[in-house]
Amino acid sequence: MRRLLLAAAALAFALPAAAACPDEAAVQDLARSLLANQPAQPLEGMTGLPDGQCAQDRLVAILSREWGRPVGYKVGLTNAAAQQRFGLAHPITGTIYEATVRNRSGAELPARFGSVPTVEADLIVRVSSEAINDARDHMAVLRAIDQVIPFIEMPDLVLAQGMNGPNLLAINVGARLGVVGEPIPVEASEDFARRLGAMTVVLENGERELARAPGTALLGHPLNVLPWLAQDLASRGRRLRVGDLVSLGGFSPALPTEAGRTYTVRYEGLMPQPVSVVVRTR
């Protein structure tokens, strides 16, 4: 009996600590700060990404009552520099709401729309087939999506200080608002895939260029994001569904919003003429 107890103790010592999901009261406090547009303090006691995911699930359940049902996902940290900043070797996933994609190009929104409001160049795709969950190459991905949508994301980074990987996951990777442009029909062709990778994405604020990046800034190619996301969701027992929208990641840093600006994201080389999406701030 004593040997069994010692073996059990040794096994328990060898196993990783159980996830330290922040309690519901802490997540409710975070949600209140978000809804009041007040910067929040980081959640304490989290030991890794599973804790941040648990907190995110609780936060999304609260905020979806205010911002509308979940309509898809956003993938954050899709470039090596951003991953290195947070000490991670891979992207992370958040959930986007109806409010995230409600505004159309040309909309005017408050510059102070959130606790720590920012703006960044992004791109959305729409899922048209559940074959996306098994797609691993560019042509298979293109056959499972039907729209590419110009997108200015307006994330809320929420925290006054102490941002790290688990807390970025906990705040739902900053998902809050955005502005969508005119959808572009997907062509399931090698040429369309080439143009997505070769395009240049430019963010301007009406006075100057703020950022410029190639399509390859997102995991080497925008279409590489979807197989990663499908596998991440599968690890948690989830699947992409027809109609899901996926925000592929930032082609620019998340920059503080300023009042009285006209932010434009322009996609050069994707179509015969540049396409763009615009938001104005007040």
pLDDT tens digits, 15-45: 334 557 999 999 999 999 999 999 999 999 9
Q: What is the mean pLDDT of residues 75-89?
A: 91
Asked if pLDDT for residue 9 goes beyond 70, the answer is no
Count of other CB atoms within 10 angstroms of residue 92: 24
Region of 89 (left: φ > 0; alpha: ψ -120 to 50; beta: rest) is: alpha
- Cα distance between residue 257 and residue 137, in whole Å: 36
CA distances (Å), origin 220, targets 80, 86, 197, 251: 10, 19, 8, 12
- The answer to whether the predicted template modeling score (pTM) of the entire model surpasses 0.85 is yes
Q: What percent of the chain has pLDDT over 70?
A: 93
Q: What is the mean pLDDT of residues 146-167?
A: 96
The per-residue pLDDT for 5 is: 33
- Model pLDDT for residues 233-279, shown as the tens digit of each residue: 999 999 999 999 999 999 999 999 999 999 999 999 999 999 999 99
Q: What is the mean pLDDT of residues 129-148?
A: 98
The per-residue pLDDT for 80 is: 85
- Cα distance between residue 223 and residue 40, in whole Å: 34
- Model pLDDT for residues 86-99, shown as the tens digit of each residue: 989 999 999 999 99
